[in-house]
Structure 1
């Protein structure tokens, strides 16, 4: 039951990340279509309609950050993060597993620090009602809260992998990497 819940949580992060990318594409498409329509009207000697999305680059940036952070956990589980495995691949399985535990603890520590920092920044932005600098004023705590959610999800995925290692199981990213290579992996 917990495994299914965690997998759905990671999948939800992927879906939200994909939706953020789709939103970027739609916004850019509307902006480009607006420019084409306006230029066509000008070429025909008519008044342009003025279809423009205020602060498009800022909105796109916020959506892109959301997509990147929300996809972190799912990408880790799918074996999509760049990892240097030359050492662990050359070690016997028990040593490779033992080496992976402190590495995961270090990754979890770094993720925890980033999570704490992002949370403090989002809380401060909310408390002081900070807004973006563009023409359209967006409350900064909203994209920052998405960063916090993505980092929290990554921390859960790291803990998930650490628990799997400590139980003698293969973490999801190792299984995914092994499947890509066409073999099995014991660590």
Structure 2
């Protein structure tokens, strides 16, 4: 089970990275085209006029997807920022219980957000909603990516709670039981 969860988190992290690479490629194409047009204009030649249609819109969708898809992987790798001023002074076992309860609370909130976003995506699919802008993108695609990212994050939070209740102290970064 541990291997399957780690694979799920890693896969979501790689999908997030691919979204960021797609943003890089699209923006680089746009910048490259502008530089080429400038050079052609300076040389007295006809500019190409190449443009990536809907770059801001598509970049926004990809940025949202990358953010939500990366949540579980960063939690599993213990790179989220955690404020533990109160819990760091607790005895180890009590700290783990508090961390488990906080993870369960987070999972409940994330689970509700997952449900609401998935329902929203299903309504967008049912109505055939598309985005406003130069590129009419079916809204179910970015909404579905966000919902999937939140679902994996919810699973990761439940996993984190289970590990905390079992006595695993991943917050200290050691991955060992205390």
Q: Give the TM-score band, short-chain normalised.
A: over 0.9
Flag structure 1 segments of 5+ consecutive residues without an equivalent: none
1:136-151 matched pairs, under 5 angstroms: 136-151=135-150
Which position in structure 2 is the counterpart of 1:107? 106
Query: Does the residue aligned with 1:71 lie in a helix, a strand or coil?
Result: helix
Flag structure 2 segments of 5+ consecutive residues without an equivalent: none
1:23-34 matched pairs, under 5 angstroms: 23-34=22-33
Counterpart CA distance in 1 for 2:35 and 2:95 is 57
Counterpart CA distance in 1 for 2:126 and 2:148 is 18
What is the RMSD computed on CA atoms of the aligned residues? 1.6
1:12-91 matched pairs, under 5 angstroms: 12-91=11-90
- Figure out how many residues of one structure are paired with residues of the other and give that number: 178
What is the TM-score when the length of structure 2 is the normalising length? 0.93
Which position in structure 2 is the counterpart of 1:163? 162
Which position in structure 2 is the counterpart of 1:131? 130
Counterpart CA distance in 1 for 2:68 and 2:103 is 19
Asked whether the equivalents of residues 175 and 185 of structure 1 are also in contact (C-alpha less than 8 Å), the reply is no
Query: Does the residue aligned with 1:131 lie in a helix, a strand or coil?
Result: coil
Moved over 6 A (4+): none
What is the TM-score when the length of structure 1 is the normalising length? 0.89
Query: Does the residue aligned with 1:86 lie in a helix, a strand or coil?
Result: coil
